[in-house]
Amino acid sequence: MANQIHIAVKSSVLPSGLPLQSAFKKVTSTVSVAVFLTAVLCQVASAEDMDINYLYHLTDFSGALPFNNAKIFADREHHEVYVIDQDLSVKIFNNVGMETYQFNDDGSLGKIIIDIAVDKDGNILLLSTPFSPGNYYILKCNYRGDLMATLELKNIPKNFHANAMIYRDGHLYIADKGNMTVLVMDEHGEIEKNIDLFPLLGVKKARNEFDISGFSVDKEGDILFTVPVLFHGYRLSPDGKLASFGERGGGPGKFNIIAGIISDDEGHYFVTDKLKCTVLIFDKDFKFITQVGYRGFSSPGGLIIPVEMAYMDKQLYVSSGAHQGISVFGIGQ
């Protein structure tokens, strides 16, 4: 049976002033509509039984927010999405994409917030260097963003530059993407593992020619990462087994300049491609399923240099550059 293309744009859930409405105002004829929709469809590969629907952008009451390559975190248990804005304020959104709260807009928690997570008790964790560069801290805040405790990360290796953090099942995974190193810590900041990813790649070139771009940890404790110069995504299991997927190319399922990588609850893998301006989706066996998004400004489903992603409640959140904000796609909606 031939694959079918499933893509839809749901305008009924959009607040006024979002890019979809402004884009369609410019489409003034039946021919233009047909050409516009055909261009969208041609940018999305298809797969059986997988609907990919552009829903909306993250917004407040004034309209879509022009985030620029913002960091995103999805608190799947409490159905909230956190975004670190350029001014280092933290904005919180509900599960329909509306901003409900923000904190650190006054800079009281410091000017260098690197990443964000939520622990098992619902406390907000901020990876930060608020006092001096090179000294890393976890700022533990309550649900209002009020500082409760400051945890200094001790025994950090020399020249370790933290730039990503994941909290998973009582463990903190903190990555230095440039040095391809991941520290696994307990909730008290004590190092449990120091994982050097570079030797696992089996390459003969110098370390300084490589880095990782995407970094996340799935529900099984697998470390997911991408290496752009190798055009590969990787999965490192807790027992040390490394699996890889991907190949260079411009066709469906192939990589140009890969960046972020995450997984959903069903074991699908999502990988952003900055050059294609798409998100490629693979199954648990790394078989290509489909891709979503296309290069476009202020249009439904359009993405610009996407890197960061998050997943929650069958919704995929994709952060764009060029102040194009955060697009939300429904998986099977």
pLDDT at 194: 96
Give residue 269's pLDDT.
98
Residue 257, pLDDT > 80, answer yes
* DSSP track, 54-117: EEEE-EETTEE---SS-EEEEETTTTEEEEE-TTS-EEEE-TTSBEEEEE-TT-TT-S-EEEEE
Residue 153: strand, helix, or coil: coil
CA distance 245 to 232: 6
Place of tokens 């280092």: 88
Tens digits of residue pLDDT in 89-99: 999 999 999 99
Pick the CATH number of 7-331 from 3.40.50.300, 2.120.10.30, 3.40.50.2020, 3.30.200.20: 2.120.10.30
Q: Which residue has the tokens 């909730």?
A: 187
- Cα separations in angstroms, 74 against 53, 88, 141, 217, 264: 19, 17, 17, 13, 11
Q: For residue 84, is pLDDT > 50? A: yes
| Per-residue pLDDT at 131 | 61
pLDDT higher than threshold 80 for residue 61: yes
Three-state DSSP at 19 gives: helix
Mean per-residue pLDDT, 145-168 = 92
pLDDT averaged over the chain? 86
Q: What is the pLDDT of residue 262?
A: 98
**CB-based burial, 5-36: b 16+ in 10 Å, e otherwise:** ebbebeeeebbeebbbeebbeeeeeeeeeeeb
Q: Which pLDDT score is estimated for 10? A: 41
